[in-house]
Amino acid sequence: MATYQKRGKAWRAIIRRKGYPTISETFPTKGMAETWAQRQERAIAQQRAHGTSDADAMTLSALIDWYVKHVEALEPLRRSKASDLQRIKGYAIADRVAIQLKQGDYVRHIEGRRRTGAGPATVGNDLIWIRGVIKAARANLDLHASLEELADATRYLRGARVIAKPKRRTRRLQPGEEDRLLAYLDAHYRLPMGDIVRFALASTRRQEEITRLRWADLDRAKGVMALADVKHPTSKTGNDKTFRILPEAIAIVDRQPRVSEFVFPFNAKTIGSYFTAACRMLGIRDLRFHDLRHEATSRLFERGYAIHEVTQFTLHESWATLRIYTNLLPENVPEK
């Protein structure tokens, strides 16, 4: 049975059915809310009469909610993926029953996103995340949605260059930028932002990884440091690694005050915000904190380290991935 709630001048219809996700929608009048609720209940009844699965009545939005809860129970979602999924729920495509989605629905969603200014790689991610949700629901909920419709839309959009893979970043620090940046960070923040950047450049660590490093995990004698839950394309929980750490990076660690079990007990988002603000104030354009990892990796190659040696710093598992982080300057290639 549907229930109705008056919310200011609008009416909200809520449908709760055992074995089905709760769905709701808000309308200007109660009559419109009742019409919508009756249509949804008829769809549920028809679906049950045809012997299809419970998931076949779910909207894409409801499937996303299920997917987030299902995946989070196994392993936390990456922050970017979680925010992208929540954003997709705000578009019209999310209100459609998932098994009714056709090639044209996906194409219209992507083309609409491009018209509002989203880039080809950004909108391409929408299709990747939607595909992941549908695949998981097919395997776990017996959803009868077609992946071919999504695949056809993807092929068309890629051929029309509406979607594309992200461009490989090649941004490196330019002469004078590092000195200016470090001087500003040392002078303007209570956080040791200067040392955090120095450590990133000396260790190749990501900002989120830097904030998780523990004093107890540093082995000065061996020149290594342990890091839990290292980022991985398929799973990072339990992906614990040990990386090579050079004396200059250890020196930065040793001069930090021991106020916590963590060497840099700060919020990773705050570090990123401060870094971006500093670059803006200094007029340093198109430099992200993650670019420091590219810079640090390239510097290791320029110092003469081989591929298999650099991976002991960066913790990449393949050259195909590592090369994305490598932007050597010809004049800095060491002589053999």
Q: What is the pLDDT of residues 167-213, one digit of tens each?
A: 888 889 999 999 999 999 999 999 999 999 999 999 999 999 999 99
Pseudo-torsion of CA 228, 231, 237, 242, nearest 10°?
-30
The 10s digit of each residue's pLDDT in 149-171 is 999 999 999 999 999 988 888 88
Q: What is the pTM of this model?
A: 0.66
Distance CA 217, CA 261 (A): 10
In three-state secondary structure terms, 247 is: helix
Q: Please report the pLDDT score of residue 278 as a whole number.
A: 97
Model pLDDT, residue 21: 64
Q: What is the mean pLDDT of residues 287-305?
A: 92
Q: What is the CA radius of gyration of the chain?
A: 25
Other C-beta atoms within 10 Å of 223: how many? 14
The number of CA neighbours under 13 Å toward the Cβ of 193 is: 25
Neighbouring CB atoms inside 10 A of 14's CB total 16
Give pLDDT, residue 322.
Answer: 75
Q: Which of 264, 287, 286 is nearest to 208 (CA)?
A: 264
- β-partners of residue 205 are none
- Give the distance from CA 13 to its chain's centroid: 33
Q: What band does 76 get if pLDDT is binned at 50, 70 and 90?
A: confident
Strand partners, 23: 15
Compute how many other C-beta atoms are within 10 angstroms of the C-beta atom of residue 259: 7
Q: Report the CATH fold assignment for 177-332.
A: hpI Integrase; Chain A (1.10.443)
